[in-house]
Each structure stands twice: as C-alpha cells, then as structure tokens.
Amino acid sequence: MSQRLRRTTTSLMVQFRSAFSILSSLRTKPVSATGAGVIVFFYLLAVVVLLFGQYVLPFNDRAIDLAHELAPPSLAHPFGTDQLGSDLFRQVVYAIPIDMFVPLAIVIVALIVGALIGTIAAFRGGWADELLMRITDIFRAFPGLVLALAIAAALGASIANAMLALMVVWWPAYARIARGEALALNSKDYVKFSKITGVSQRRIILTHFFPNVTPILIAYATADIGTVLVLFSVLGYLGLGAQVPVPEWGRIVFTGQDFIQQAWWYPIFPAVTIFVVVMGFSLLGDGLRDLLDPRLKSTR
C-alpha cells in the first residue's frame, strides 16, 4: 500500500512540475499568454459573480425603469440599457458563470467519453474497433450544429438539454484523436516489449497512453471550449438554451437585434464579449498545441 501511495505521489509531483513548466513556457509566447490572461480573468470574474455578485454588483433581472429604456452607454450604465431600462452591463456580467462554466463542462464530458471510446477501440481492435468507429462516423456524418439543434429542439429548450445536445455532438472528435494516438503508441518498441513481458493492457494504458496523450487532448480541448461557447450561444440565440429570466449572452444578442437601429449597444456588447472570450480560448489553445503536440514540434 505504501509503495502504491509513493508511486501515486511521485506521479502527481511529475504532473505538477510538467504543468508548471508548460505555464512558464507560455511566457515566451506573448499572444498565448494574453489569451491565458483573458481566460483566467473571466473565470475569476465568474467565481466572484457566483459567490459575491449580489454584494458587489446587485442585479434584479425583473427591474423595470422605463424612464431609462434604451439609454446609451454612460458612467451609470457602461453598456447602456435594454427596452425595459435594465442595465445591460449587469446582465452581461451575470451571464459570465453560465457562459464560462457550461462550455467547460461540455468539453470535459465529451473529452472523457471520446477518450475512453477511442482508447477501447484502439486497444481492443477487431470487431470492437469496427463497431465503435462506425458509431463515431455516424455522429460525425451530420453537421455538428444541425445535429445539436435537432437534439435540443426534440428534448426541449433548457440549459441542461442544450448541454446534452452539444455533448452528444462533440465526443466523436476526441474519440478519433484518442484512437489515432493509441494506435501510434501500439507501434512503439517499449509498448511491444511491455506486452511481450506480460504487462497487462490496463497498466499499459495507465502508464504509457494517458500520460502521453492527455496533454495533447487537453491542448486541443482548450481551443474547443471557445467553439462550444459559440454553439451554446447559438442555441441560446435560437431560444433553445437559457430561458428568461436567466441571463445568457446568446439570448441577450437575440433580444437586442430588434433594437439595433436605435440602440446599437444592445446586441453589440454581449457579442463583443463572446468574441473576446472565444479569441482568448483560441490563442491559449494554439499556444498549448505548439508546446504539447509532438507532431507540431517536429515540423518546426
């Protein structure tokens, strides 16, 4: 038991040093570091809103102040107001937890499911590989947004159903990546030697596959969070995501588009917020891919 605990502790220390080394390397990439700063800022803000929002920035989603309806941006209302006179800045800020944590949860679940399916397919081979990959191909045959819209519409408009729809759409990409990496790993001499000496498949996966493939999957998943945010916002825009009175960027953009001629700020500010966050994830993901994907390193 003590040896197992020692091995686990050693593995955690190695992973911690590796993560710290990666974060340190990002400092040499100003663009990626900027993306990381944007993402960290929004996640910190999301936590602050969840824990202290009503104390720091009180918000009443049902507040009506028709005397200030569609007021332009000002010191009192940095993002202006909506058709009911409600402060848009507060709506955008209070939407941050949903729009930051929901895409993250979707990608984490899709990553885990896809990695498990891809790994099983590669290491089992034969009929299991054929069956799992044909199922994966069926999901990949449909455009992601169209399939997500169909699933969300069939299940009903809600945040939970929108999340489920996007999880169903997103796992096949990770299954393909995990399978490809596992097949490449199977051809390595040290893996062949492990099999010859009787090392169990489970131990090979735990000691060789996951430590080598997990950083690559995480790097690609980081950039994917921005894409999932866009799709989640599209579902909200079409009325299949968060429902009134829950604030969500896509829904705010949809509501504000009817007033864009007399109140340009209404749809623009939440749309710009989405753009900034997506760019942050994209820049951070590109930097992590450059650092973690050996195939990209070998081409430089």
Does the residue 176 lie in any domain?
yes
Does the residue 272 lie in any domain?
yes
Q: Assess whether pLDDT exceeds 90 at residue 144.
A: no
Which DSSP symbol is given to 87? B
Q: Give the pLDDT band (50/70/90) at residue 279.
A: very high
Q: Assess whether pLDDT exceeds 80 at residue 220.
A: yes
Q: Assess whether pLDDT exceeds 50 at residue 16.
A: no
Cβ atoms within 10 Å, residue 121: 24
Which DSSP symbol is given to 78? T
| pTM score | 0.85
Per-residue pLDDT at 143: 85
Does the residue 146 lie in any domain?
yes
| Residue 209 buriedness (CB in 10 A; 0-12 / 13-18 / 19+) | buried
Task: List, for residues 162-200, the tens digit of each pLDDT value.
Answer: 999 999 999 999 998 888 888 887 777 777 777 777 767
Does the residue 263 lie in any domain?
yes
Which DSSP symbol is given to 75? S
User: Taking all residues of the chain, what is their mean pLDDT, rounded to a whole number?
Assistant: 83
Does the residue 3 lie in any domain?
no
Task: List, for residues 265-275, the tens digit of each pLDDT value.
Answer: 999 999 999 99
Per-residue pLDDT at 300: 46
Residue 204, domain CATH: 1.10.3720.10
Task: List, for residues 246-266, the tens digit of each pLDDT value.
Answer: 889 999 999 999 898 889 999
Does the residue 11 lie in any domain?
no
Q: Which domain holds residue 176?
A: 101-298
Residues 92 and 252: beta-carbon distance below 8 Å? yes
Q: Give the pLDDT band (50/70/90) at residue 6.
A: low
Q: Assess whether pLDDT exceeds 60 at residue 18.
A: no
| Number of structural domains found in the chain | 1
Average pLDDT for residues 143-162, to the nearest whole number? Answer: 91
Cα–Cα dist 212/189, whole Å: 15
More confident: 89 or 295: 89
Amino acid, res. 150: A
Kind and range of the H or E run holding 71: none
Does the residue 227 lie in any domain?
yes
Gyration radius (Cα) of the chain, Å: 23
The per-residue DSSP string of 192-257 comes to HHHHHTT--HHHHIIIIIHHHHHHHHHHHHHHHHHHHHHHHHHHHHTTSSS-TTS--HHHHHHHHG
Residues 252 and 270: beta-carbon distance below 8 Å? yes
Does the residue 55 lie in any domain?
no
Amino acid, res. 182: A
